[in-house]
Amino acid sequence: MPGAMCLRCLTRSISSLERPITQLQPLAKAAFSTTANFQKGVKKSASLVKNGSQTGGGTRLRLKKTKRVVTGRPPQPGERKAIRKRIVLSNTNALEIRGLHRFQKDNISASSLEKMRGSFLAFDEATIDALRALQAFKTSQSWSMFRTAATLVRHDTITLARVIEQQTTDSAGDNPSAASLVLFGERGSGKSVLQLQAMSQELTIGTTSYQPTVDSVGKTVYAQPHLTAKLLENILTANESILSGMRLSKKHQLPISIPDNISIARLLQLASRDPSIAWPVWQVLMQELSSTPQKGEGLHRPPVLLTLDSMAHFMKSSEYLNEDVNSIHAQELALVASFTSFLNGQQPMRNGGLVLAATSGSNRPATPTLDFILAERHAAMKKQAKPTWDPYMERDALVDRALQGVQAHKIEGLTKDEAKGAMEYYALSGILRDRITDSFVAEKWTISGGGVMGELERSCIRQKF
C-alpha cells in the first residue's frame, strides 16, 4: 500500500517547509490617546486661540461679527409714532367727482338731508381743520383713497340731525335741556363716522400723569393735568372763533391771577401751556358753558356738543393705582366723571346741547354691565322682551350710575339704496371698476352682512385677489 507522502519529500530540508515569519510593521498611532502617559494634544486650528487667562490649556473660539452697515438716517424721537398715526385725507390719484355737494349750513338740516339720502357730502377746508384738531378722523378709515374727505348721508344721519335741530330749538325756549345718546352696533357699522358728522354739523353751524383731587361734593377723584391740557388745546383750536368772543361771567378761584374781563380763549391758551392749572381751568370752562346766558358783550352761551368715542374703556377699572395699590375705576377719573355727569343729566346744560357717546368694535374691552344696559335700552325702545342679568355675575354699580337715564341707539346696516349710492361714489372716484347693477348691489349688500359699512367698503375697494 503506497504511503501518504512521496518518498522524495523526505530528502527535502525541514527548514524549507517552515513558513517564513513576516516582520511586524509598526501600527499607525492616532494623534491623541486615552492613555495618560501617551496623551497628545489636538492640533490647533486657526480659529481656536489659547486663552491665557485659563489654566490647563483652555481654548476659546473667536468669530468675527459682521457689522451692520447703516445707510440711512435713523428715525428721530417720535417719528415712527407720527407716521403710524398720520391721517391722510386726500388722494390726488383719485378722480375728482363733479357736482359733489358740500357740507354747508344751508344743506345740513334734516329736510335737506332727507333729499340727499344715499349721496355723499364733502367737508370744506375749515371744517376739516377743526375735525383734525379734535382728532375725529381715524387711521382705520379709508379717507386716503378719495380725492377729498366726504361722508355718506344715511338714515341715521337724518335721525341725528333731527335730534340736533330739536335741541337747538329747545335752547331758545324757557327751559332748555341737553339730550343724551349712546351709539352702539357692530364693528364697521359707522359709529365713529356718525359722530364725526354730528361734530361737523355743529362746527358748520358755528397715558398720562394723574393726581388725587377733591370735587365739588367732597369726593376724591383723580385729575390728569397733561391730558387735560392737551384736550383744552384741541378745544381751543377747533372753537377759537367762538371762544374768543366769550368772556367770564363771574369771578372764579384759580391758582393764577387773571384779569376780570379775560376771554375764555385766552384762558384756555394759558392752561394748555401750563398743565398745573389745566384741571381748574377745565372746571371753569364747563361752568361757563353750562351757565345761564346774561345780557352784555361776551356773555352769550351757545348750545354745546360733547362727544366721546370708545366709551367701553371708561366703563371698567383702569390701570391706575391709588395710594393703597388698588385699581382706580375709570369713573373715578376727573375727566371721565365730568363727562358722565353731563351724560346722565346730573350736571345740567342750561343752554341746551347734545351729549353723544359711542362704543367701538375694533378696540373694545369686556364690559358686561355696559353691554347689558345697552341691550336693555334697545329692547325697551323696540318694545321687545328685555334681557335678564346673570345672577352669578357681579354688576358694576358705577357703570349703572353713569348710564342712568341715557338713551341708546343701535347703528345697523345701510339700506340697498344707500349702499348703491356708496358704490356709485366709489365708481366715480375710479376705485370700483364694476358696473353698478341691481344684482351687483344685492350681492355686495348680502356679502357685507346686510349693509355694514365697513364690510361693504372692504368687499368693494379693499378686496385683494
Q: Residue ranges per domain, the chain?
A: 415-465
What pLDDT shows up at residue 443? 93
CA-nearest of 349, 368, 372, 326 to 222 is 326
Instruction: Report the alpha-carbon angle 43-45-48, nearest 5.
Output: 110
Of 84-93, 99-108, 200-209, 243-252, the range with the lowest mean pLDDT is: 200-209
pTM of the model: 0.70
Question: In 3D, which of 236, 230, 240 has the Cα closest to residue 275?
Answer: 230
pLDDT at 465: 44
- How big is the chain by its Cα radius of gyration, in Å? 39
Task: Label residues 314-326 b or e (16+ Cβ within 10 Å = b).
Answer: bbbebebeeeeee
Task: Identify the pLDDT of residue 438.
Answer: 93
Strands (E), 103-234: 120-122, 150-152, 178-185, 211-214, 220-223
Q: Which three cell numbers stand for residue 321?
A: 393705582
* Of 279, 275, 300, 278, the residue nearest 289 (C-alpha): 300
Q: Within 10 A of 151 (CB to CB), how many other CB atoms are there? A: 18
The predicted pLDDT at position 108 comes to 80
Residues whose CB falls within 8 Å of the CB of residue 199, separated by 6 or more in sequence, listed in order: 131, 134, 136, 305, 307
Alpha-carbon span 420 to 437, nearest angstrom: 9
Instruction: Tell me what the pLDDT averaged over the chain comes to.
Output: 82
Strand ranges in 275-386 using DSSP code E only, listed in sequence order: 304-308, 317-321, 327-329, 353-358
What residue type is 114 in one-letter code? E
What is the model's pLDDT at position 166? 81
> Each residue of 370-423: pLDDT tens digit?
999 999 998 988 888 989 999 999 999 999 999 998 889 898 889 999 999 999
> For 14-32, what is the mean pLDDT?
54
* Amino acid letter for position 329: H
Q: Which triple of cell numbers denotes residue 50?
A: 489659547
Identify the three-state secondary structure at position 354.
strand
| Burial of 224 (C-beta count, 10 Å sphere; 0-12/13-18/19+) | buried
C-alpha cell at 262: 379775560
The answer to whether residue 134 scores a pLDDT higher than 90 is: no
pLDDT at 369: 93
The predicted pLDDT at position 9 comes to 54
CA angle 304, 305, 306 (to 5 degrees): 115
Residue 338 has pLDDT above 60, yes or no: yes
What type of residue sits at position 376?
E
Tens of pLDDT along 295-321? 888 888 888 888 888 888 889 888 888
Coil, strand or helix: which one is 120? strand
The predicted structure's pLDDT at residue 22: 53
Q: What percentage of the chain's residues is helix, strand, coil (to nearest 5)?
A: 40, 10, 50
- The pLDDT of residue 399 is 92
Helix H, strand E, coil C: the string for 312-342 is HHHCCEEEEECCCCCEEEHHHEHHHHHHHHH
Pairwise CA distance, residues 305 & 311, whole Å: 16
